[in-house]
Structure 1
């Protein structure tokens, strides 16, 4: 180990997360030392949980010659734990539930949207609209003037929520979250 090297705190790989994400996190934390292949290999086991550490300890001595080989073997061994990106059409399954708030629907939608790979902003923005009830004011607005991307969709959702809150307040009905006791 180099002089003055302090092992950074790691999230332990627990076989429940994506191995690629774990490696990316490890490399990010070790970013000052990525040029030192031997150090990257020596420190890597300290980021592993019990199962992965048993795998590491079972590697034949001398079978790994570089950090990239170690990562390749790690990824192959734990490939079944890899996160599979959702297809963009998975967004079509998200519908606003009866009695659900726009906030809750949008939250579930963004969570699934973040699991999708690729640049599908127009399709994603359109599927959000389709998931809204037919008589919902925001759906009508998004149909008349479709958003060009996710940023614009998010802005329109916030504007709609603000407008709805303003209407409730002007009628003397404060929204649930702004009511005082």
Structure 2
């Protein structure tokens, strides 16, 4: 769009090329001559799709995160990092402690993190990956043994 910034008519024509199916239906449903400038087009778009704006989550959202009954470490960590990424600011130290707190006391990863604390989010992610692979291997062995029986 920056390339066409001097030509409003062209910007209005190029605008729909970046829209998904829902926004494209909205765009195609606009009345003829309803939009007379790119600024008006972006305002109308913003007014219609304001609900798509993401509001940053508060830091306390991480405190309520915990692994669910029967949930795999992979599913929990995916859910956790998705939530973590919705929080504004740098809270790496909080990420380490809240991820660990979300695991049950008897979980092997929690025991390891308690015994040898990690000092960075990168290190935490490495530990999670290690334990996730172990968990996935155990699940594969269980599935194989069920097929044999």
Taking structure 2 as the reference length, the TM-score comes to: 0.69
Could you say which residue in structure 2 is the equivalent of 1:137? 108
Judge conservation of contact 1:125–1:153 (CA < 8 Å) in 2: yes
Could you say which residue in structure 2 is the equivalent of 1:113? 84
Say whether residues 1:125 and 2:100 are aligned partners. no
Q: CA deviation at 1:125?
A: 2.2
Q: Which one has a larger percent helix, Structure 1 or Structure 2?
A: 2
For structure 1, the residue ranges without an aligned partner over 5 or more in a row are 1-29, 166-173
Judge conservation of contact 2:57–2:87 (CA < 8 Å) in 1: yes
Taking structure 1 as the reference length, the TM-score comes to: 0.59
Question: How far apart are the structure 2 equivalents of 1:44 and 1:58?
Answer: 16
> What is the RMSD computed on CA atoms of the aligned residues?
3.0
Could you say which residue in structure 2 is the equivalent of 1:104? 75
**Closer/same/farther in 2, CA of residues 158 and 53 from structure 1, 3 Å limit:** same
Alignment coverage as a number of residue pairs: 138
Q: CA deviation at 1:61?
A: 5.4
For structure 2, the residue ranges without an aligned partner over 5 or more in a row are none
Judge conservation of contact 1:126–1:146 (CA < 8 Å) in 2: no
Q: CA deviation at 1:131?
A: 0.3
